[in-house]
Structure 1
Amino acid sequence: MTDLSTRARQILAELGAGDPFAEDGGLVATSPVDGSELGRLVAHTPAAVDATIGGAHAAFEEWRSVPAPVRGHLVRELGELLREHKEVLGELVSIEAGKIRSEGLGEVQEMIDICEFAVGLSRQLHGLTIASERPGHRMMEQWHPLGVVGVISAFNFPVAVWSWNAALALVAGDAVVWKPSEKTLLTALACQALAAEACRRVGAPQALSQVVLGDREVGEVLVDDPRVPLVSATGSTRMGKQVAPRVAARLGRCLLELGGNNAAVVAPSADLDLAVRGIVFSAVGTAGQRCTSLRRVIVHESIHDELVARLSKAYGTLSIGSPLEPSTLVGPLVDTPATEAFLGAVEQAQADGGRLVTGGTRADQMSGAVTGGQYVVPAIVDMPAQTDVVKRETFAPLLYVLTYAELDEAIALHNEVAQGLSSAIFTLDVREAETFLSAAGSDCGIANVNIGTSGAEIGGAFGGEKETGGGRESGSDAWKAYMRRTTNTINYSTELPLAQGVEFQ
C-alpha cells in the first residue's frame, strides 16, 4: 500500500465514508500524482442502479412536500460540514484529481459558496402574478419540485460540479443520484458521506443523495430511466452528443456542460502586466484541464512580440511537480492518454506551420516531477492561422497564439470554433470592451473583460453555447432547471368568461 493510499483511507475514515475498498473490486482508484493504486471498489450493477433510483424517487415524494425554507436547513448543514472538513477534503481532491493544494481547497470553498447561495435561494423560489384579461380572474406561476436529478460529473472538478447540482436540487425539493467519473471515485464517496450525515442531522430522507459507481453501463441506466426527469452531465462534447439523444428519446430534460475552446483577445490598449497574469493562470491552472482553460490568445499584431516574450518568460518560472507540495503551480495530467493527446497536438501544430515558443515536452526529468505521474511542460505555440488542431480542444496546458489587425477580425477568429463556453478581452478601450460583450461580439456563455477565462464565481449562471451544450448551473436563475413550472388561473367571480372573447353559449 502506497503512502497516498494510506492517506486517502485515513481521510475517507475521517469524513465518515468508512472503508469502501474490496480486494476483488473491478474499479481501480488511482492517483495522478504518481500513478499509484489507491484502492479497488465494487461497481454497481444495473439492477442496483435501478433500485437506487427507486429509493431516490421515494425520498423525493416525501421531500417535495417539505417547505422550501426547511429544505434549506439540509443544505446549510452540508455547508457547515464542508467548512469543518475543508482541509482534508481538499487534500483528497489533490490526491485523486492531481490539483495543486490551493486549487483543491478552492474547489471545496466553491462547494461551501454554493451551499450559502442555495440556503438563501430556499426562501426566494419566486413565481409570478400575471394580469388576466378576464374580469374576476387572476393568473399566477408556481415552481414545483421536479423529481430525481441524475448527475454525471467529470474528473477535473470532482466535487464542485456535484455540489452545484445537489445544493440547488435539494432546496428545489428534488433527490440526487450521482455517477462520478471513474477517475475520481473516492472524492464522491467522501461527499456522499457528508451528505448522508447532513440528512441524519436534520431528519431528511437518507435516500435523497446517493452515489452509483461504475462505467458507461451505469451511466446509461441513469440516462435512460424515466424516473429521472433531469440529467445534468458534465464532460466532453462527444459524451454530450451520446447522452442528449437518449434523454430526448424519452422526452426528458438535459443540462449539458461540455467542451470549451476558450480564447482571450488582447487589444493594443491592454494592461499587459494584467493580461499576462490572467493568461498564465487560465492556461496552466489545473494543468490546463478545466473546461474554461484558456486555449487561444488572439493578440493585436502591434503587441504580439512583446506579449509572447512576456508569456514565455512567465512560463519559465512555473514550478512543475507534485500537487501536494505547496510551491507547485503545475501538477500532473490525469493519465497517459492525456499526455499523448498533448504531445500529439503540439506535434500537429508544428506540422501546420506553428512555432513552438516554449514547453511541449514531458517533464519527467524535471525537478519536482514524481515518478509514475504524467507531468508535462506547458506549451505555447505561435500559429500562422487557426488550423484544425487549434479548433479542437486539447485538455492540457497548450496555448495557441494568433494575430489580428482589426477587432472584427479578432471576434471572427474567436467565434470560429465549435465550442462556446468562456471568453475574455483585455482592453482599456470601453468601445472595444462593449463591442466584445455585445450580441455581435463573443458567442460564449461567459464573456469577461480584463480577467481570464477561468475561475467563475458561483453567483453567475455557468455554462456555454454551441457544442458546449447550452446548459446553465450554479447562480442567477439556474435553479429553474431543477423545477417544473405551472401556470394557474383562478376565477373568483360568478361568471365564466372565455379568453380571447370566445363565445360558447
Structure 2
Amino acid sequence: MKQTIDALPLNKEINDVLHQLGVKEHNPAYSTGLAWGGQQDRTTRSILSPADGHLIATVNVATAEDYEQVVLAAQEAFKAWRKVPAPKRGDIVRQIGDKLRQHKEALGKLVSYEMGKILQEGLGEVQEMIDICDFAVGLSRQLHGFTMHSERPQHRMYEQYHPLGIVGVISAFNFPVAVWSWNAMLAAVCGDVIIWKPSEKTPLTGIACQHIIRDVLAENDLPEGVFNLIIGDAEIGSLMSHDHRVPLISATGSTRMGKKVGEAVGARLGKSLLELGGNNAIIMTEHADIDMAIVAIVFGAVGTCGQRCTSTRRLIVHENIYEQVKERLLKIYPNLPIGHPLDSTTLVGPLIDKDAVAAFKNALEKVQQEGGRLLTGGDILSGAGYETGTYVTPAIVEAENGYEMVQEETFAPILYLIRYSGEVENAIEIQNGVRQGLSSAIFSTNLLETEAFLAHWGSDCGIANVNIGTSGAEIGGAFGGEKDTGGGRESGSDAWKVYMRRQTNTINYGRDLPLAQGIQFNIMD
C-alpha cells in the first residue's frame, strides 16, 4: 500500500485555481447573480481541505435577513425570466456550458481539493456539468405538451407546462457542483429561477460556479436573481423548506435529512424532489464475466472513498465463484494507491472529515460484533502525507444481508461480501431486502438471468444495470431511486417536468356551450 505521496506545489497550484475562479481569502454569504451580499458582521466558517488540512478560504454564514434578500431578488427576477423564450433561456445555459469548458481544469481541481475526490473524478464532475448544459440546450426547444380529442363538438383540448417559480436546491458535499447543475440548468430552461444552498462542507465550489455564471449574466444584461447562491447551515435549509414562496425543493443528502425536508415541504403542500441514501448491490451470478466485474466492483466501492450515493455497498456472489472473486479482491485492495487527491497516481483520496472516519470505524466495529468478518482494510492511516487523519484503507467484510449495519448506508469505503446459492431470484431477493432503492447491477452473460433482474419482479431500484457497476450514471437517463431513496428523478429523460406546473386547457371554438358528460342545464327563456 502506498504510504507517502510525492510533494506537490499545492500552495501555488491552489492559489492559482482560486484566483482564476474568483474565490477570495474571505467570501460573502450570498449572491444574487451579479452582486454579493452579507459581507460584514456575519458568523464565518473556515473551509479546510480534507486532503492536507490546509485552510483554503473562509466564508460568511448567511442570516435569515440575508435569505429574505435572496428570495425577494429571485421573485423579482422570475417575473422577467419566465417571459424569455425557452430557446433564448437555452442559449444562456449554452454560454454557461462554454464558460465551464474554459474553467474545467481549475474547477475540477477545486472540487478535488475541497471535497477530497481524486482529480479524475473532479474533472469528471465538471464534465457532467458541461454535459447537462448541452442536454438542457436541446431541451429548451422540446418543452412539449400534449393534445387530445374532446368529447364535445368544436372543442380542442391540450396540456401545457409552465414555469413553477423559485426552485430551491440543497446539495451535498460529495458532488458539490454536478447535482446542482442537474437541477439548475433544467430549471433555468424551464423558466424557473434558482436558489442554491451548497453543503456547508464544500461552499467554495459553489462560490466559484457563481463567479462563472456572473460573467454570462452580465454579458447578456440579465437581471439579478436568476441564479442565486446562499451559504448557510441547517437554518437556511429549514427556511427554504418551510417557505411557501419556493414551490419546489430539490434536496440531496441522507435519508434522515430528506425526511425532514419532505415533511416541511409536504406540510405546506409544496413539491419536493428528494435524492437520498443508497445501499447499492452488485449481483454476480455463476455466469458472470469476472474480469469485467472486478473493475466495476472496485471503482464502485472505493471511488470517491465510498462517498457516492451510488457507491457499491454490497457484493452478492454465487457460491460457485465466491472464493475466486474474494481472492481477486483481496489481492487488489491492499495495493490501492491511497493519497492526496491531486496526485495523478492516487485512486483513493480522503474521507471528507473526521466525523466520517468515526462513522467508518463505528460501522466496522458493529458489523464484527454482529458476526461479520473483516477480511482487509479498516485502518486509519497516519504519518507523512496522512497527517489529517482522514485517510483510511478500504475494507471488505464477509457478512449477512440481515445484519443491522449491512442494512444501513455508511458513507465510507466498506464493501460487504455476501454469498448466495441457487437461482438468480435468490440473489435479487437479497438485493431488494434493504430499505433503500437507488442503484443496482448484475453481472451475467446469461440472458435469462439478466432479463429476470430487469423484470417488474426483479430489481426494485430506480437504476438497474447489466454488466455495468452501480456507480457512474450518464446524464441522459433520469437519476433517482425508490423507497428510502426518496422517489425523485433528476437529470435526463423527462425529469424536466418536475420543474414545471402542468395545465390542462380546453378551447371552445363553436357558438354553442355543450357541457361535458352530456349534462343539460337550461337557464335561458
C-alpha deviation, 1:13, in angstroms: 2.7
Alignment TM-score, normalising by the size of structure 2: 0.93
Match of 1:209 among 227, 230, 239: 227
1:20-99 to structure 2, matched below 5 A, reads: 20-21=26-27, 25-99=43-117
- Is 1:249 equivalent to 2:255 in the alignment? no
1:243-392 to structure 2, matched below 5 A, reads: 243-365=261-383, 369-392=385-408
AA at the equivalent of 1:14:
Q
SS of residue in 1 equivalent to 2:225: helix
AA at the equivalent of 1:428:
T
* Structure 1 match to 2:36: none
Contact 2:437 2:483 in 1 (8 A): yes
- Is 1:185 equivalent to 2:203 in the alignment? yes
C-alpha deviation, 1:316, in angstroms: 2.5
Distance change >3 Å, CA 460–CA 182, structure 1 → 2: same
C-alpha deviation, 1:452, in angstroms: 0.5
1:89-128 to structure 2, matched below 5 A, reads: 89-128=107-146
C-alpha deviation, 1:206, in angstroms: 2.9
Deviations 1:344-393 (A, max 9, x none): 1112222222221111111224x7x4311400000001114530110000
Distance change >3 Å, CA 105–CA 373, structure 1 → 2: farther
Q: Distance in 2 between matches of 1:500 and 1:213?
A: 54
SS of residue in 2 equivalent to 1:326: coil
Q: Distance in 1 between matches of 2:201 and 2:167?
A: 22
* Structure 1 match to 2:447: 430
* Structure 2 match to 1:470: 487
- Is 1:407 equivalent to 2:424 in the alignment? yes
AA at the equivalent of 1:15:
L
C-alpha deviation, 1:313, in angstroms: 1.2
C-alpha deviation, 1:18, in angstroms: 4.8
- Is 1:395 equivalent to 2:422 in the alignment? no
Q: Distance in 2 between matches of 1:184 and 1:163?
A: 15
C-alpha deviation, 1:16, in angstroms: 3.5
Deviations 1:11-69 (A, max 9, x none): 23312445544898521211110222222211111011011011011101110011100
Contact 2:253 2:276 in 1 (8 A): yes
Q: Which stretch shifts more, 91-100 or 23-32? A: 23-32
SS of residue in 2 equivalent to 1:399: strand
1:146-185 to structure 2, matched below 5 A, reads: 146-185=164-203
Contact 1:5 1:38 in 2 (8 A): no
AA at the equivalent of 2:173:
F
AA at the equivalent of 2:490:
E
Contact 1:44 1:213 in 2 (8 A): yes
* Structure 1 match to 2:517: 500
Q: Distance in 1 between matches of 2:195 and 2:11?
A: 27
* Structure 1 match to 2:33: none
Contact 1:5 1:39 in 2 (8 A): no
Q: Distance in 2 between matches of 1:8 and 1:223?
A: 35
Contact 2:17 2:110 in 1 (8 A): yes
AA at the equivalent of 2:180:
W
Q: Distance in 2 between matches of 1:7 and 1:19?
A: 15
Contact 1:33 1:373 in 2 (8 A): no
Alignment TM-score, normalising by the size of structure 1: 0.97
SS of residue in 1 equivalent to 2:172: coil
Q: Which runs of 5+ in 2 are unaligned?
A: 1-7, 29-39
Distance change >3 Å, CA 103–CA 139, structure 1 → 2: same
Distance change >3 Å, CA 5–CA 213, structure 1 → 2: farther
C-alpha deviation, 1:300, in angstroms: 0.5
SS of residue in 1 equivalent to 2:335: coil
Distance change >3 Å, CA 60–CA 19, structure 1 → 2: farther
* Structure 1 match to 2:433: 416
Paired-residue identity, %: 57
Contact 1:364 1:376 in 2 (8 A): no
Q: Distance in 1 between matches of 2:23 and 2:75?
A: 23
* Structure 2 match to 1:15: 21
AA at the equivalent of 1:92:
L
Q: Distance in 2 between matches of 1:247 and 1:383?
A: 38
Q: Distance in 2 between matches of 1:384 and 1:481?
A: 38
Contact 2:159 2:503 in 1 (8 A): yes
Deviations 1:87-135 (A, max 9, x none): 0000000110001010000000000000000000000000011111111
Aligned length: 502
Which aligned segments of 4 or more residues in structure 1 are displaced greater than 3 angstroms?
2-10, 16-25
Q: Which runs of 5+ in 1 are unaligned?
A: none
Contact 2:283 2:315 in 1 (8 A): yes
Contact 2:162 2:501 in 1 (8 A): yes
Contact 2:23 2:204 in 1 (8 A): no
AA at the equivalent of 1:387:
Y
AA at the equivalent of 1:188:
G
